[in-house]
């Protein structure tokens, strides 16, 4: 039975609560903003009045029995899932909950190496063992592609005892794997299928976009509602398929998620779910149109390449998310991060990220043609003013690493700090990555090579925002 998607149980309960003018002798201590006037002036009284704690009329995120439960049922219905959970620790906490629910210590999980760091962090917490399927690289674009079906089957046959397959779909750049075939393959071998769908919220609401995880029959999917879905930053959904024990998953979520769920985040999930359920098709048709307009204009400038479904090869690029405006900058002679910096510093345009060879401009329902035109003319100007020879440019997003220890053993192992350029041959004990996108160049337990060190130095000189190590300046690395 389809539910009434006009309803917003959390939003409605908060509005009712506001009218009751209850005297607060509970937390938070700002007492509807009266205790912190500067913050109230900054965020507004409306916002502060609903920054409240769990109580009987408002339910409890850890153990929902009324309005939160109803809101989660509506979200599950909207996304075609059996169950959904409101996540207030971002998609990071949803990814970690999936992995922790699927794998215990010492159990194997199959995943591509270009996963977000949250997935590898989950392995440090759980003690599960990663079996990496190294994704193919597109040499021209310098990006890793999706998971190849034949490559995955080979890895599954070598590791039939693995408990789950984890796939990031779409990738940050918009590349989609053959999700249905991969899910069927995992299930055929008795493995759970987990999908990090941080960048695919919109797939659920627009038939013109690639297949969603729930439609493909996946067991769990983490969905960044705050990316393309319109909710507040840090709010996400964890979706479950029919065969997963939802009560156990909630226990796992409660291992790490706060007991003081933010009603600002939860109401934003509730309201934006309603909006997508009722208007999603029209919203994302508009986004697709804007992205295509931008691609057409950018590809006329010369040297830039805004790519799309022409990359499809039936396997490692099974489909492409056409709302993603991913642009290769190598023929302009500039690293993506250099174009990112120029757009920000010279043209007051903030894009999502730049890496070694590409930039991503995030387009959503909030954009208009005039913003697109401003971006296009800025890119055109950058090419005219700053174009260089392509010689000497590195051309790949990351290097396939050699795993020596599990992430957990390495992270907690005995360490020493060594000047970074002297670490070749050693085993890394921490993460090194450019953020965004937050895909590790090195993760705990991986062998450091000369090639990886050269890549890190290159990314630093180009201006990538490097994160991960204990040493903030990334001049020293902790090794086993």
Residue 285 belongs to a domain with what CATH number?
A: 3.90.1150.10
* Residue at a domain's end among 357, 386, 415: 386
176 and 236 together in one domain: yes
User: For residues 227 and 198, what is the distance between their CA atoms, to the nearest angstrom?
Assistant: 8
Classify residue 441 by its DSSP letter: E
Residue 2 inside a domain? The answer is: no
Within this chain, do residues 199 and 68 fall inside the same structural domain, yes or no? yes
- 343-365 pLDDT, tens per residue? 999 999 999 999 889 999 999 97
Q: Do residues 200 and 67 share a domain?
A: yes
Examine residue 401 and state whether it is found in any structural domain, yes or no.
Answer: no
Neighbours of 427 (CB within 10 A): 20
Q: How many domains does the chain have?
A: 3
Do 304 and 381 reside in the same domain of the chain?
yes
The pairing of strands 476-479 and 358-361 is unpaired
The candidate with the shortest Cα–Cα distance to 158, out of 123, 108, 103, 112, is 108
Q: What tokens appear for 117 in the block? A: 């760091």
**CATH number assigned to the domain comprising residue 195:** 3.40.640.10
Query: 208-234 burial, b for 16+ CB within 10 Å, e for fewer?
Result: ebbbbbbebbbbbbbbbbbbbbbbbeb
Could you report the average pLDDT of every consecutive run of 10 residues in the chain (480 residues)?
Answer: 92 95 93 95 96 96 97 98 98 97 97 90 95 88 92 97 98 96 98 97 97 98 96 98 98 96 98 97 96 98 98 97 97 95 97 93 91 98 95 72 91 95 95 80 93 89 86 92
Clarify whether residues 312 and 215 are in a common domain.
no
| Angle formed at CA 328 by CA 324 and CA 334, multiple of 5 degrees | 135
Enter the tokens of residue 358: 């590409």
Tell me whether residue 395 is in a domain: no
pLDDT score of 398: 64
- 439: domain CATH number is 3.90.105.10
Q: Are residues 377 and 421 in the same domain?
A: no
- Determine the pLDDT at residue 366: 85
Domain shared by 249 and 265, yes or no: yes
In a domain, 4, yes or no: no
Show the domain range for 473.
407-479
Does 303 share its domain with 321? Answer: yes
Specify whether 372 is located in the same domain as 425: no
Alpha helices in 66-216 (DSSP H): 67-79, 90-102, 117-126, 149-158, 179-188, 213-216
Q: Which two tokens stand for residue 471?
A: 């040493």
The reply to whether 154 and 27 lie within a common domain is yes
Among candidate residues 324, 364, 358, 407, the one with its CA nearest the CA of residue 121: 407
Residue 92 belongs to a domain: yes
- Report residue 302 as tokens: 């010369």
Domain match, 149 and 21 both: yes
Looking at the fold, whether 104 and 245 belong to one and the same domain comes out as: yes
Of 386, 419, 449, the position where a domain reaches its end is 386
Give a yes or no: residue 32 inside a domain. Answer: yes
pLDDT confidence of residue 26: 93
If residue 478 lies in a helix (H) or strand (E), which one and from where to where?
A: strand 476-479
d(CA 41, CA 224): 29
End residue of a domain, out of 258, 277, 296: 277
């Amino acid at each position: 039975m389809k539910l009434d998607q006009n309803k917003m149980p959390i939003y409605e309960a908060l509005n009712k609560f506001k009218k009751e003018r209850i005297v607060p002798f509970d937390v938070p201590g700002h007492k509807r903003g009266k205790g912190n006037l500067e913050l109230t002036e900054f965020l507004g009284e409306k916002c502060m009045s609903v920054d409240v704690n769990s109580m009987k009329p408002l339910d409890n995120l850890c153990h929902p029995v009324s309005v939160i439960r109803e809101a989660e049922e509506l979200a599950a219905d909207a996304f075609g899932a059996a169950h959904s959970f409101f996540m207030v620790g971002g998609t990071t906490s949803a990814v970690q909950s999936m992995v922790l629910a699927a794998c215990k210590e010492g159990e194997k999980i199959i995943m591509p190496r270009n996963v977000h760091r949250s997935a590898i962090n989950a392995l440090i917490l759980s003690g599960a063992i990663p079996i990496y399927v190294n994704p193919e690289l597109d040499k021209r674009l310098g990006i890793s592609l999706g998971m190849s079906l034949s490559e995955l089957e080979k890895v599954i046959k070598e590791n039939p005892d693995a408990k789950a397959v984890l796939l990031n779909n779409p990738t940050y750049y918009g590349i989609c794997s053959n999700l249905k075939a991969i899910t069927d393959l995992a299930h055929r071998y008795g493995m759970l299928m987990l999908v990090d769908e941080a960048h695919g919220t919109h797939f659920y609401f627009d038939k013109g976009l690639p297949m969603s995880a729930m439609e493909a029959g996946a067991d769990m999917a983490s969905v960044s509602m705050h990316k393309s879905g319109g909710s507040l930053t840090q709010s996400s959904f964890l979706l479950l398929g029919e065969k997963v024990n939802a009560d156990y998953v909630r226990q796992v979520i409660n291992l790490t998620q706060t007991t003081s769920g933010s009603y600002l985040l939860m109401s934003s999930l509730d309201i934006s779910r309603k909006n997508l359920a009722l208007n999603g098709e029209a919203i994302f048709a508009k986004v697709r149109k804007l992205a295509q307009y931008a691609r057409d204009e950018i590809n006329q400038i010369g040297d830039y390449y805004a790519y799309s479904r022409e990359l499809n090869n039936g396997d490692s690029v099974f489909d492409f998310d056409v709302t993603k405006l991913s642009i290769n900058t190598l023929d302009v002679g500039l690293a993506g991060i250099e174009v990112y910096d120029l757009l920000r510093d010279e043209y007051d345009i903030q894009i999502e990220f730049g890496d070694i060879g590409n930039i991503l401009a995030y387009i959503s329902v909030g954009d208009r043609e005039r913003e697109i035109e401003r971006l296009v003319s800025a890119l055109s100007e950058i090419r005219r003013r700053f174009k260089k020879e392509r010689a000497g440019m590195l051309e790949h997003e990351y290097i396939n690493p050699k795993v020596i220890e599990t992430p957990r053993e390495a992270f907690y192992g005995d360490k020493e700090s060594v000047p970074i350029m002297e670490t070749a041959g050693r085993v890394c004990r921490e993460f090194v990555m450019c953020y965004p996108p937050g895909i590790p160049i090195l993760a705990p337990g991986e062998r450091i090579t000369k090639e990886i060190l050269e890549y890190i130095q290159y990314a630093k000189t180009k201006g990538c925002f490097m994160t991960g190590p204990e040493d903030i300046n990334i001049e020293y690395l902790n090794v086993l």
